[in-house]
Structure 1
């Protein structure tokens, strides 16, 4: 025990459950405030900025993209700083300060410029909370439990995605903008209290040595290569040095790779495809966010409340199935979840064209059909939630173990999640821009056909690379 004065409540403040709760609430808050104004944005642009109706879709997509674009730009610097900092709590708190500023600007903004700046600040906050938060999760639970923990956290934060559009629509309908942003401010207070109380494992170890090494990914073994490759790699556990050689970074790299050795990890196709999964997942989420409210208004003449309620159908399967899907990733590997999840989404997305064909004569029946189809897509979103992060973490952990000391004292994990945040944010940026443009150009049904084709290609790449080369392709 250290001679320093032990913080009050060290045991519960540094406990696994409290740290994971704090990170989950931080991610929840980010997504909640991101989604809170999704059904309200068209009305903000019309009532505050006086935009004509024909320009609203493009500006809605642009504001969604501004958030993601800021995350793309700031993710990597944040990851580098977080890995080199003595503790992750300070940048975590800085992210909350940025989110508070963004919320105030959104609540008071009366011009396009202010709204865009608010979304940019919100994007910076998102980059911080996702990069630092996910690194803290790995620090706390280790890689072997990452799938079910990420699945459970994503399931919890999907409540934010579920509740935010619904509550945003309800509050805008009943109380105006004051109610919408009052709720957001209350959530920020709760988030602030949790982040202030939390004590990282590294900090707790200064007072109690039992916390040393707990959850550290360097203290755990790496995952076996998954899917069919697991059966075909019986020699691999007997030859750990061969695998270590495969992941060892040669000496004599240029200055950029010496300063950012994680860049060498991108020579692994497994890591590249894992990040592609994150990109496509984000593009899908952003496509739903950008097109459901406008399509609901076009098809059913829905207002903000009614459009927000449609997100329930999409998100409930995500909420219920997320932990189960994460457990399956830990047990059976990343390949089955990625291939099945993205493959399943191909027909689910194609079927979204049915309400636009008016195959059901009654308006009520068409609404029920659309809701049911959104639920089918929600199942697919639950399945694809974990594989990307678990796969990327596994690859980088192998590089870290094969190159002791190269990645610094804290390892490259915040940098990895910074790249994950970057590609995820790029998906959030590109998704609404392309989907909004396609919807206007070729219609909602054909737009979803294009998106289905992209998910099909992603499923094929997952089969070829995620979790290692499949058995039938091994020489």
Structure 2
């Protein structure tokens, strides 16, 4: 029966459809990254032509404006999650994030002072924190933990196009059409995003009018947000016989269930800070810290490619901004195609395998990026080699796209199950994704700064060697921490 005898919203069935909710979140994340990157190549011209900033001061102002965005995202992520976990609907804060982005875009288009541009970038940063935090929480509410990797992998594949191509598109639009073309495209993307966010209806809201429109039956039976253990156990039952579970699994990991309960159960009364921000209790698990660390390294690698491909292409091949932008296709296509497959593998085989294989695979592919700089092949052959190496790296980026989110969600889900009611009705998931956004934004900020300094200081090849070393360390830590301690069960799980 409908609540308060009200009629159900118009077109409730398709507005609460799982695919429409996923598409809405994906478009929201795409819009955030696309608009962020779209104005980056335009900022120096705005500062010089509209604000008459001296040429020798432009780089400093651009860096400060980028820092304002990143700083606002980092500061806003956790509060956004805290608020979202204490509201009845995630849709309202999701819309508020778009309002901040709309205001920021208008201020950038009309800005005639440094202060206005700075405020605009801060609003963009706040919007990013909200959309990432609320969006990922809505995805978990909708698909449940057992499908999280596949969905997140698909979404990351889609939004990577916006992240990597937006700066090039912005530069081309500004060159061909000026400010009007850049902000006209921005307005079109914002319009689509606004329409979808306005129409979307959450599963739990739809269920008040029609129980059949609630979360999927499998999520209802398992308790969509709480019963992570039951979900994963049922997945194992499908692939391993009961006899094998009671012999091999128990022999290799004795009393695993009891140990897990002890690890995740809260036995002492938390202090006031933890009661206010209950997600903090989950940080006693090294797996959560490792999962967030994966997000940081993943974002750093994405930002490294974004920052160095155009400059390296110009230096090596004399490419224009448009030609350099086309190189991103080689990186994007494998990411776009393989992201959903890699996400499915995370759901099927676990986070440890994906993290170890993904970051381990990136070690040689990053090192090999030094070959074009050594000019081992003549002319166009060297360009083809660079494209091929970028494509190989795109495969690795696809594999590491979802383990961080799935690992962190799994840990927090186990805390939520072991301590019923401690985290409130909505659970701690928006708070978790607030921290995930914080670490991811920190990676997007630090990655290009470190990459640029290393490229200028020790060269492009050695810069990639440093990032390969970081990937090596990440893969090693993933083997020992991500997904729990390594065991024969993990090794032979496939």
Determine which of 243, 250, 257 is the counterpart of 2:260: 243
Give me the whole-angstrom Cα distance separating, in 2, the residues matched to 1:300 and 1:40: 23
Are the aligned partners of 2:304 and 2:447 in contact in 1 as well (CA < 8 Å)?
yes
Determine which of 414, 439, 443 is the counterpart of 1:423: 439
User: What is the aligned partner in structure 1 of residue 126 from structure 2?
Assistant: 124
User: What is the aligned partner in structure 1 of residue 210 from structure 2?
Assistant: 208
Are the aligned partners of 2:227 and 2:417 in contact in 1 as well (CA < 8 Å)?
no
Determine which of 304, 323, 335 is the counterpart of 1:287: 304
Are the aligned partners of 1:168 and 1:308 in contact in 2 as well (CA < 8 Å)?
no
Determine which of 297, 309, 315 is the counterpart of 2:326: 309
Determine which of 356, 378, 384 is the counterpart of 1:361: 378
Determine which of 291, 307, 318 is the counterpart of 1:274: 291
Instruction: Assess, with a 3 A threshold, how the Cα gap between structure 1 residues 77 and 325 changes in structure 2: closer, same or farther.
Output: same
CA RMSD of aligned residues (A): 2.6
User: What is the aligned partner in structure 2 of residue 470 from structure 1?
Assistant: 486
User: What is the aligned partner in structure 2 of residue 188 from structure 1?
Assistant: 190
Instruction: Assess, with a 3 A threshold, how the Cα gap between structure 1 residues 473 and 159 changes in structure 2: closer, same or farther.
Output: closer
Give me the whole-angstrom Cα distance separating, in 2, the residues matched to 1:37 and 1:288: 18
Choose 7-16 or 409-418, whichever is displaced more.
7-16
Cα-to-partner distance string for 1:29-48 (whole Å, 9 max, x where unaligned):
11211222344455555555
Choose 266-275 or 50-59, whichever is displaced more.
50-59
Give me the whole-angstrom Cα distance separating, in 2, the residues matched to 1:471 and 1:373: 34
Instruction: Assess, with a 3 A threshold, how the Cα gap between structure 1 residues 246 and 424 changes in structure 2: closer, same or farther.
Output: same
Cα-to-partner distance string for 1:77-115 (whole Å, 9 max, x where unaligned):
000000001100111011101111222233333555444
Unaligned runs of 5+ in 1: none
Give me the whole-angstrom Cα distance separating, in 1, the residues matched to 2:335 and 2:250: 36
Instruction: Assess, with a 3 A threshold, how the Cα gap between structure 1 residues 289 and 318 changes in structure 2: closer, same or farther.
Output: same
Give me the whole-angstrom Cα distance separating, in 2, the residues matched to 1:301 and 1:55: 26
Establish whether residue 321 from structure 1 lines up as the match of residue 338 from structure 2: yes
Give me the whole-angstrom Cα distance separating, in 2, the residues matched to 1:249 and 1:60: 47
User: What is the aligned partner in structure 2 of residue 441 from structure 1?
Assistant: 457
Determine which of 228, 234, 242 is the counterpart of 2:250: 234
Instruction: Assess, with a 3 A threshold, how the Cα gap between structure 1 residues 116 and 359 changes in structure 2: closer, same or farther.
Output: farther
The two structures have a TM-score, normalised by structure 2, of 0.88
The two structures have a TM-score, normalised by structure 1, of 0.91
User: What is the aligned partner in structure 2 of residue 393 from structure 1?
Assistant: 409
Unaligned runs of 5+ in 2: 237-244
Give me the whole-angstrom Cα distance separating, in 2, the residues matched to 1:465 and 1:98: 38
Say which SS state the counterpart of residue 409 (structure 1) adopts: coil
Give me the whole-angstrom Cα distance separating, in 2, the residues matched to 1:387 and 1:396: 14
User: What is the aligned partner in structure 2 of residue 337 from structure 1?
Assistant: 354
Give me the whole-angstrom Cα distance separating, in 2, the residues matched to 1:436 and 1:58: 15
Give me the whole-angstrom Cα distance separating, in 1, the residues matched to 2:174 and 2:21: 34
Instruction: Assess, with a 3 A threshold, how the Cα gap between structure 1 residues 371 and 173 changes in structure 2: closer, same or farther.
Output: farther
User: What is the aligned partner in structure 2 of residue 90 from structure 1?
Assistant: 92
User: What is the aligned partner in structure 1 of residue 469 from structure 2?
Assistant: 453
Give me the whole-angstrom Cα distance separating, in 2, the residues matched to 1:374 and 1:53: 33
Give me the whole-angstrom Cα distance separating, in 2, the residues matched to 1:112 and 1:317: 40
Shift of 1:384: 0.2
Choose 180-189 or 129-138, whichever is displaced more.
180-189
User: What is the aligned partner in structure 1 of residue 225 from structure 2?
Assistant: 217
Give me the whole-angstrom Cα distance separating, in 2, the residues matched to 1:380 and 1:121: 33
Task: Write the mapping of 1:129-208 to structure 2, written as runs, cut at 5 A.
Answer: 129-208=131-210
Are the aligned partners of 1:12 and 1:18 in contact in 2 as well (CA < 8 Å)?
yes
Shift of 1:431: 1.1
Give me the whole-angstrom Cα distance separating, in 1, the residues matched to 2:394 and 2:407: 22
